[in-house]
Amino acid sequence: MNWGWKIAITYSLFAIGTLTVVFISSMKKVNLVEEDYYEKEIKFQDQIDRIKNARELSDDFSIQFDALSGNLQIRYSGGEALNGNIHLYRPSDSDLDMNIPLNLDQNGKQVMDTQMLLKGLWVVKISWEATGKSYYKSEQINIQ
């Protein structure tokens, strides 16, 4: 085999390899951080205000994860009635995200079992309203 054939085979293998990588890459699912991040960027000042409101309540509202029992506990010691939403956000796969209504008992506590969640990093995002103000708090948890 002369050097002309060797060069042709080398270029052909390179082209086939490149096309294979392009094909595999095009089939890979790409998860964005948020589906509608452009709209959320525009409304970001509202989010900053909600976070500021929640920081003012830092002693009244808490998110705690107990790794031993696998329970996520949300507490609110303020006396006002709340309505809100708990968003369990999985950064690596948005298909696993969950929305759960905020439903505190008479002691101001909500306990959730995290056994149904996959192991790894989760972000607990809680949005709620009380006394005419909007609030937001988030915590990262690592389920083992």
User: How much is the pLDDT for 24?
Assistant: 93
pLDDT interval class at 33 (50, 70, 90)? low
Q: With H, G, I as helix, E, B as strand and everything else as coil, classify residue 51.
A: helix
Q: For residues 26-45, give the mean pLDDT.
A: 76
User: How much is the pLDDT for 58?
Assistant: 63
Both tokens of residue 63? Answer: 């998110």
Q: What sign does the dihedral 50-51-56-58 (CA atoms) show?
A: positive
Q: What rounded mean pLDDT belongs to the chain?
A: 86
112 pLDDT higher than 70: yes
